[in-house]
Structure 1
């Protein structure tokens, strides 16, 4: 085990290899095409190939072929073993030695102090998928969660097809407006218990860590805004996105959040990411 962790830490000691690893962690459990990784990080394909080979040799990344492309995913068990080794052996199992802010880890629903867990959904534009997710969770379990959404792009506006779909499904859209994630950062910003990315582009971005270390997961859904063609085809794409998000959010809303510890909750939201993202409404 000592040899393994030395190799792993040496491999992650290279800034760009670490960037690749962090992107794959953010996209877990997705397997990401090499071309998408290269484009997201601005790395030449030949250079990326050597980085991925090194991460694979260290046992941190897995590789699988899908049609004509190679896809890469973080090896969750290997990463967990590495973290446990660092925590139990190097830090002697003491969070006060390993964490710079051991008191900045509130339990679930502790962020609000009012019995509600705060949830943030993020996509690149905050115009469609994250707005759909915000509305669905508010309808599914609004009495248990304080729900927000935001985008990573500087400017955005709500997509009219998303708003039309939400109205058709009986959601109140009067409170919805497009926001940037910066609205939820800073000393006066709310502290979240859960942060979910619902688009690959947002998950690929290396954003600063959230205060309070919320539980996070990537629930990527294909972008309905990108679908072109007849009005019926575009509407169907939005309905598919709505259906996929509703399936995952219904599973999330059914979790006994107040009775599960952080490790169990993290495993649960990771499993929810595996629910079929092509489901119809």
Structure 2
């Protein structure tokens, strides 16, 4: 109840409602505060004020893209508001209100989930940059629905310092990250994986590991930022680009209606995410 009240309060201002609608049209990449100001004719100081209100209500989040901060809508919160409004409609059967109106509101103040979270493993060759970044993003974007892991087929043994610097600057907890072999997840007693994503780059002739068993898997190839040459600024920008690509893909994945998609449809959706972002 309180979360819904906070969200509606934030949207109860003409400019904030317009900003929110504009950001909905910009999913999944979002927009910068400057871009929003130009589109809507709102002064930068006013835009910062309104974005802060939307962030405080959990409707909007921000991520670093190079030197720019992009603001993005949180789709689970949107679904949560719809679910909250529809909870008691149609004689206690909110599914009758149409698609998107269900009784699974993310804003309902209930106890912890009874079902275990989905386990997601990100694989690459060295487990020093791309898969580590993906693990960090998934841990944040998963919002309790997912547990994230990463590993490598030929681990470097250390996490790249630029990856750690980037994640620290974006307020990720890096204390538990380490470069490790995927064998750790193939032994008895290891977490059972529901999803496995390979993030190595076939275009650069990397050999991607193949995970055995029955998890749903997809290839989300990303160029290796550790292989980029040039100035320190150029190298660090490559890591920021990797983070942006992972955030875009994982945000889409984390907001898919997994429970309502059959395996074949879900597989295609995940494959399309990797192909679309690779083409971009």
Q: Is the 8 A contact 1:131 1:176 kept in 2?
A: yes
Q: Is the 8 A contact 2:117 2:147 kept in 1?
A: yes
Q: Is the 8 A contact 2:124 2:208 kept in 1?
A: no
Using the size of structure 2 for normalisation, the TM-score is 0.55
Equivalences, count? 165
- After superposition, the Cα gap between the structure-2 partners of 1:200 and 1:145, relative to the gap in structure 1 and judged at 3 Å, is same
- Name 1:210's counterpart in structure 2: 212
Question: Is 1:267 aligned to 2:268, yes or no?
Answer: yes
Higher relative contact order, structure no. (Cα contacts within 8 Å, ≥ 6 residues apart):
1
- Name 2:34's counterpart in structure 1: none
Separation (CA, whole Å) in 2 of partners of 1:238 and 1:268: 26
Separation (CA, whole Å) in 1 of partners of 2:209 and 2:144: 32
Classify the secondary structure of the residue corresponding to 2:147.
Answer: strand
Q: Is the 8 A contact 1:241 1:278 kept in 2?
A: no
- After superposition, the Cα gap between the structure-2 partners of 1:114 and 1:177, relative to the gap in structure 1 and judged at 3 Å, is farther
Using the size of structure 1 for normalisation, the TM-score is 0.55
1:116 to partner: Cα distance: 0.9
Write out per-residue CA displacement over residues 95-128 of structure 1, whole angstroms, 9 at most, x where no aligned residue.
Answer: xxxxxxxxxxxxxxxxxx8431110000111100
Separation (CA, whole Å) in 2 of partners of 1:190 and 1:263: 24
Q: Is the 8 A contact 1:241 1:277 kept in 2?
A: no
Write out per-residue CA displacement over residues 128-187 of structure 1, whole angstroms, 9 at most, x where no aligned residue.
Answer: 000000000111114000110001115421000001001111111112111110000122
Separation (CA, whole Å) in 1 of partners of 2:239 and 2:221: 14
Structure 1 runs not aligned, ≥5 long: 1-112
- After superposition, the Cα gap between the structure-2 partners of 1:203 and 1:259, relative to the gap in structure 1 and judged at 3 Å, is farther
Separation (CA, whole Å) in 1 of partners of 2:184 and 2:244: 28
RMSD of equivalent CA atoms: 2.0
Q: Is the 8 A contact 2:117 2:145 kept in 1?
A: yes
Structure 2 runs not aligned, ≥5 long: 1-113
- Name 1:152's counterpart in structure 2: 153
Write out per-residue CA displacement over residues 56-89 of structure 1, whole angstroms, 9 at most, x where no aligned residue.
Answer: xxxxxxxxxxxxxxxxxxxxxxxxxxxxxxxxxx
Q: Is the 8 A contact 2:198 2:208 kept in 1?
A: no
Separation (CA, whole Å) in 1 of partners of 2:215 and 2:201: 19
Classify the secondary structure of the residue corresponding to 1:234.
Answer: helix
- Name 1:4's counterpart in structure 2: none
Separation (CA, whole Å) in 2 of partners of 1:123 and 1:242: 15
Question: Is 1:200 aligned to 2:201, yes or no?
Answer: yes
Q: Is the 8 A contact 2:125 2:207 kept in 1?
A: no
